[in-house]
Every structure is written in structure tokens, then in C-alpha cells.
Amino acid sequence: MIKTRVKQIIRNRHNLRIMIKDRLYPDPLLKRNAKFKNIHKGQRCFILGSGPSIVNQDLKKLQGEIVITQNNFHVHQDISIINPRYHCVVPFFHSAEFTGDWINWFRSMEERLPRDCQMFFHLNTREILEENNFFRDRINYLEVGINPMTLERAQVDLTKKIMSVPTALVQCLTVALYMGFGKIYLLGCDMDQICNLNKRENLRFYGDSYITNNDYELKNDDEHLATGTIWYHFWTMWVEFILLRKEAELNKSEIINLTDGGILNCYKRQSYDEIVP
């Protein structure tokens, strides 16, 4: 009990230091994100995840909708029809020796994503992006760092540090809530990786990407399984999902799960075919 309380105090102090720094020394790159505040107030959007269930859903029906994709979704066969308006990429999480994998990954995104798609990257990828001249004039930076475990409300202000990103869906939902969407629909967000960790080929509809099929990633997965930290990782995700659900409710918005199956039951479920006939 005492040990748990000490950890909470440490986390609170950590978040407090970040929030004070954000207020006293705002990052000029993050301040640019103010242009996205409520720009889609009351509209609807579709966030597409990489769960294998999404291959059973006809995404061509999303033509003309506002779509947010993530990470390696650009390899989907219908990406030119889906025509995502926004694309979110997780922070750089490998050691420097794997930078080449990220360069190849970003290059493949640039080749397949629409030229007017606005990109959201973490600040720690800035050097890679600028040195290789990727995504000129459409890069928007995010910064993570807020520990969710002691928060009463999700941090969704993109001009400041946001919550940690244990999965890209957290990042996509944060962006969507900041933009003011009234209905946020999820597809392909199976979130059941924890049930398939010994079957990597079943984790994502595309199998592996440049950054998920290297020695670092494979070793990291083995370590998570061996130490049991994978359970904490997923618990953190669920804490953030519930904080984001509450934030949506406070903003008179709604997050609705249209995924065909999966275990993401903290959001109301509806049928994709009913929402997009």
C-alpha cells in the first residue's frame, strides 16, 4: 500500500513538472497545432486500425468520409480510395542502429499516402524527417510524456505534451478529440494482440512492416512475454482508452467501435454496415 502511494506521488510530481514546463516554456512547434482546435466540430470521422478483422470490411465505402489512418496502414490495397485526411505515426522507439528501417518506412508512406494528407509525428522523429526531406509542408509534431495513471482527465491539447502512446490508437483518438469530432468511429481496432503474441502473423492485417520485423522488435516482444510487462502495457492502454472515453463524453462527443470482433469493449459497439450502408 505504501509502495503504491509512493509511486502515485512520483507520477503526480512527474506530470506536474511537465505541465508547469509546458505553461512556462511552450514549444513553438507544438503551438502550431492550435490551428487544429475544433476544426471538425460536430462532424464524424473514421479511425482505421491494423487489426486483421479489417480485411472483412469494405473500406471503399469510406470514400468521401474524413478518415484518420495510422502507422503502416498505407499498404492497404484501397488506400487511394480511402484517401485519408490525417495519418498518425508512433514515436521512434528503436535504438539508433535501426534508423534505416524508419527511413525506409517513411519513404513507403510518402509513396502511397495522398499528397494532401496531414501527418502527425512525434518530435523525436524530426531529425530523420528533415534530413531526408520527407512530407514537406504537411508535418505536424506531437510530444508525449504525461503518465496516465494519476490523471482524472485525458490530456488532449496538442499544443502541449499528451499522454504516453502505448498504441497508435491513443494518438489517433487524442487528435480526433482535439479537432472536435462529434462521432469518432473505429474500425480494425481488434486490440487482441495479447491473445496472439506467439502468432505474429495474426497481429496485423499486413503481417509485418519495416519497423516490426527487425531484431530489436523481436527481442522486445520476447522480453515482454518473459517478464510479464505485456500485461502492464495493455492495462496502460485501457486506462487511456477509458480516460479518452470520458473526455469525449465531457465534450459531447462519442467514440463508437465498428470493429468486426476484437476485445475493445470499453466503447459502444455498432454495425459498420448500419453506419455506412
* Cβ atoms < 10 Å from Cβ of 181: 28
Element (H, E) at 47: strand 44-48
On whether the pTM is more than 0.85, the answer is yes
Nearest of 43, 79, 85, 74 to residue 59 by alpha carbon: 79
3-state secondary structure of 69: strand
Q: What is the DSSP string of 112-171?
A: HS-TT-EEEEEGGGHHHHHHTT-STT-EEEE-EEE-GGG-SS----TTS-EE--SSHHHH
CB 276, CB 265: distance < 8 Å: no
**pLDDT value, residue 273:** 95
Pairing of strands 144-146, 162-163: parallel
**pLDDT value, residue 16:** 66
CB 197, CB 227: distance < 8 Å: no
End-to-end CA gap in the chain? 52
CB 162, CB 140: distance < 8 Å: no
Residue 11 has which C-alpha cell? Answer: 507520477
Q: Which residues pair with 95 in a beta bridge?
A: none
Helix, strand and coil content of the chain, in percent to the nearest 5, comes to: 50, 15, 40
Positions in the chain whose pLDDT score sits under 50: 1-9
The whole-angstrom separation of Cα 274 and Cα 277 is: 6
In terms of Cβ atoms closer than 10 Å to its own Cβ (0-12, 13-18, 19+), residue 88 is buried
**pLDDT value, residue 145:** 86
CATH number of this structure's domain 25-275, picked from the four choices 3.40.50, 3.40.630, 2.60.40, 3.90.1480: 3.90.1480
The domain segmentation of the chain, as residue ranges, is: 25-275
CB 52, CB 206: distance < 8 Å: no
**pLDDT value, residue 213:** 79
CB 206, CB 198: distance < 8 Å: no
